[in-house]
Amino acid sequence: MEKKNIDWGNLGFAYMETDKRFVSNFKGGAWDEGALISDANVTMSECACVLQYAQTCFEGLKAYTTEDGHIVTFRPDLNAERMEASAKRLEMPVFPKERFIDAVVQVVAANEAYVPPFGSGATLYLRPYMYGKNAVIGVKPADEFEFRVFCTPVGPYFKGGVKPLTIRVSDFDRAAPNGTGHIKAGLNYAMSLYAIMSAHREGFDENMYLDPKTRTKVEETGGANFLFVTKDNKVVTPKSGSILPSITRRSLVHVAKEYLGLEVEEREVFFDEVKDFAECGLCGTAAVISPVGKIVDHEIGRAHV
C-alpha cells in the first residue's frame, strides 16, 4: 500500500481530511446499514437538535502500525461500550457494539494510506460520534441521528514532545456531581473552552479541575485523567462519579497491577495530598502519558510535584 506523502514526524494534533468515513443514519426507529462515503461535509437543518441543544457525544481512539507492519487499534470494544453509556444518558439510540467495531475497522482499512508508519511518532486518530440531526425547537431529543467515524493522522497532543506540563488549579468547574462528567458529551467540552483558553493565556498547559461540591478533591483535566505515584511507589488515581472513565487510565492501572506488580489505589484524592506525591502524569488517548512538572494553585504554588 502506497502511503500518502505526509511529513509524519512533524504532524501536530490537527484535522486533515482523509479519503473515507463511515456514516449510518437512524430514522424511523432503526439504524440503516451505513456506508463508507467520500464527502467530508455534513448537511442538515438549521434547527438540528445538535445545533440548538448540543445533543452529541463522541469517542476517540487510535490505530497504530506495529513493528512487523500490521495495523492495530487499541481496545475499540471499550470505546463502543462507553459510547453506549453516553448515548443512553443523552437520550440517543445505541449504535451496536459489533457494528461500532466494524465501522472502525472499515474506516482504518479504507484510509490505510494515512496510517502513519511504525516509529514515526504519529498515529491515526479515529473519531466516532453521534448527534441529533432533525429539527427540534421545543426542548426534546431528536428522533433522527447520524453516527459517523472519520479519521485523521495526528502527532503529539502537547507540543514539544515529552516535556513536563505546567497546570493550574481551575476556578471553573468541569462537571456537576450528578451531571454528565462521566460520559463523553460534546457539552462537557463546550463549557471547558473558556477555561482552557484562559489557562493558555496565563501560560498554563492545562487545568486541574477539583470536585465542584467541596473543591478539595482532584478530578481530572479537560481531556485526560490523573495518575500519581507515591514516594513508596504506589500508583494512585482519583475516583469520582464525575470523572470520564479513561480507557488509557484503566489500561495503565491493569498494567501496573498485573504486569508490574505495583499496588494501585483508586480512591478520592485530596488536593492537599498532591504535594506529597513523587510523580504526577496525565493520561488519555490524545494525551498519551504526559508528565506534569508543576501544579499552580492561584499563583502561590501550594502544590508542586
Ligand X SMILES: *Cc1c(COP(=O)(O)O)cnc(C)c1O
34 vs 153 by CB, closer to ligand X = 153
C-alpha dihedral, 95 to 98 to 104 to 107, nearest 10°: -100
34 vs 222 by CB, closer to ligand X = 222
From 137, 14, 41, 31, select the one nearest 87 (Cα to Cα): 31
184, 231, 239, 294: the catalytic one is: 184
**Closest distance to ligand X from the beta carbon of 95 (Å):** 17
Task: Point out which residues bind ligand X (CB under 6 A).
Answer: 60, 184, 220, 223-225, 244, 246-249, 284-285
How many other CB atoms are there within 10 angstroms of residue 51's CB atom?
17
Indicate the SS3 state at residue 18.
coil
Could you tell me which residues come within 8 angstroms of residue 289 by beta carbon, excluding any fewer than 6 positions away? 227, 248, 252, 281, 282, 283
C-alpha dihedral, 46 to 49 to 52 to 56, nearest 10°: -120
**Closest distance to ligand X from the beta carbon of 233 (Å):** 23
Copy the grid coordinates of residue 272. 492537599
Q: Please check whether residue 226 is in contact with residue 218, taking contact to mean a CB–CB distance below 8 angstroms.
A: yes
Helix (H) or strand (E) holding 187: helix 186-190
Task: Identify the bridge partners of residue 208 per DSSP, sorted by sequence position.
Answer: 169
**Closest distance to ligand X from the beta carbon of 105 (Å):** 19
151 vs 244 by CB, closer to ligand X = 244
Range 251-260, long-range pairs (CB < 8 A, 24+ positions) = 251/74, 251/75, 252/227, 252/283, 252/289
**Closest distance to ligand X from the beta carbon of 264 (Å):** 16
247 vs 274 by CB, closer to ligand X = 247
| Amino acid symbol at 197 | M
**Closest distance to ligand X from the beta carbon of 294 (Å):** 20
8 vs 189 by CB, closer to ligand X = 189
56 vs 246 by CB, closer to ligand X = 246
Distance of CA 242 to the CA centre of its chain: 15
**Closest distance to ligand X from the beta carbon of 3 (Å):** 26
- Would residue 257 show up in a list of annotated catalytic residues for this protein? no
Q: Which residues are catalytic?
A: 184
